[in-house]
Amino acid sequence: MRKNIPFGQLAKADYNRRISRVRINDIKRRFHADQVNPVKVSYRDGKYWIIDGQHTSLALFELNNSDPSTPIPCEVLDGLTYEQEADLFYRINTSSKPLNTAEKLNSLIEAGDPDALRFRSIVEFHGYTICGGRKNSLNAVTVAWRVFGRDGGRLSDILALTSACWPNDPKGVSSDIISGIDLFLSNHGSEYKPEQFVKKLSKVNPEHLLGDAAFLYKQHRDRAYTKAVCTYACILKQYNANLHNKIKFVEP
């Protein structure tokens, strides 16, 4: 059913994207009344919940002097549960503008997807959050999700090490460090000692570790040394420091 709904009556659910000022300004700049797509909303519990089109609604609101009574053209769906709304949001945005990994996970979590819920549980167990911009955010969500897809236990082991070595430092859970530790565990999971890893690596600033890895990467760009391999090599070097029985580097 098509219906004009005052902006002030629209509500935003947790499965939606984070607001992007860039997107709102872009819609306002290209605005043409005949080309406005209706905002897809769900009428539930006496409110109109935005499923798709929150940036369009905000652009129209601002174009009308931020008047809460601004009529927003909407397509109203009735009878959906919260979980069905989240699933519809996921399907709509997967088939149009691609969701980034964090947005995809957020919508899957809100829809009750068991894998996404387990991923969040692992991340939060180790003191992180997948919500960008918050304290202890796991910003390298794409890499972490990829590791989880192969082995959820491995992701838990990695985050246990990063949280012990570099608590409250976002550089400690960068994509290169997560990938580097992943390679370290793949090659030496049966011979390394976690307590030794934490003792050695906690003394190293993760930013310095990433800097050493970047320098190594520049030196070996003609070989099969990816950034992950170079980070692994630097992690191994720190782990081996002053050890009598050193672990051998595994060539890529």
What does the block give as tokens for 2?
């098509």
In this structure, the answer to whether residues 138 and 90 fall within a common structural domain is no
In this structure, the answer to whether residues 52 and 148 fall within a common structural domain is no
In this structure, the answer to whether residues 119 and 235 fall within a common structural domain is yes
Q: What is the pLDDT along the chain (252 residues), one digit of tens a residue?
A: 899 999 999 999 999 988 888 889 888 887 887 778 899 999 999 999 999 999 999 999 999 999 999 999 999 999 999 999 999 998 888 766 667 888 888 888 989 999 999 999 999 999 998 865 566 788 899 999 999 999 999 999 999 999 999 998 989 999 999 999 999 999 999 999 999 999 999 999 999 999 999 999 998 876 778 999 999 999 999 999 999 889 999 988
Q: Is residue 85 part of a domain?
A: yes
In this structure, the answer to whether residues 136 and 88 fall within a common structural domain is no
Q: Is residue 250 part of a domain?
A: no
Assign residue 40 the CATH number of its domain. Answer: 3.90.1530.10
Buried b (16+ CB within 10 A) or exposed e, 22-55: ebbeebeeeeeeeeeebbbbbbbeeebbbbbbbb
3-state secondary structure of 42: strand
pLDDT for 40 equals 96
Q: Is residue 248 part of a domain?
A: no
Longest dimension (CA), the chain: 75
Q: Is residue 11 part of a domain?
A: yes
Q: What is the pTM of this model?
A: 0.69
Please report where in the chains the tokens 């794409």 appear, as a residue. Answer: 142
Tell me which of 104, 132, 154 is where a domain ends. 104
Report how far Cα 198 is from the mean position of its chain's Cα atoms: 25
In total, how many domains does the chain have?
2
pLDDT for 66 equals 95
Strand duo 10-12 + 47-52: pairing: parallel
Amino acid at the residue 138 = L
In this structure, the answer to whether residues 77 and 136 fall within a common structural domain is no
In this structure, the answer to whether residues 46 and 129 fall within a common structural domain is no
Report how far Cα 46 is from the mean position of its chain's Cα atoms: 32
pLDDT for 96 equals 63
Q: How far apart are CA 233 and CA 226, in angstroms?
A: 11
Q: Is residue 227 part of a domain?
A: yes
Q: How far apart are CA 35 and CA 132, in angstroms?
A: 32
In this structure, the answer to whether residues 82 and 99 fall within a common structural domain is yes
pLDDT for 133 equals 56
Tell me which of 104, 129, 148 is where a domain ends. 104
In this structure, the answer to whether residues 96 and 124 fall within a common structural domain is no
Q: Is residue 251 part of a domain?
A: no
In this structure, the answer to whether residues 30 and 84 fall within a common structural domain is yes
Q: At what angle do helices 152-165 and 141-150 cross, to 10 degrees?
A: 140
In this structure, the answer to whether residues 93 and 195 fall within a common structural domain is no
Q: Please give the backbone phi and psi of residue 126, each rounded to the nearest 5 degrees, phi first.
A: -95, 15
Instruction: Residue 208: count other Cβ atoms within 10 Å of its Cβ.
Output: 12
Amino acid at the residue 173 = V
Where in the sequence is the domain holding 234, given as residue range(s)? Answer: 113-240
Q: Is residue 40 part of a domain?
A: yes
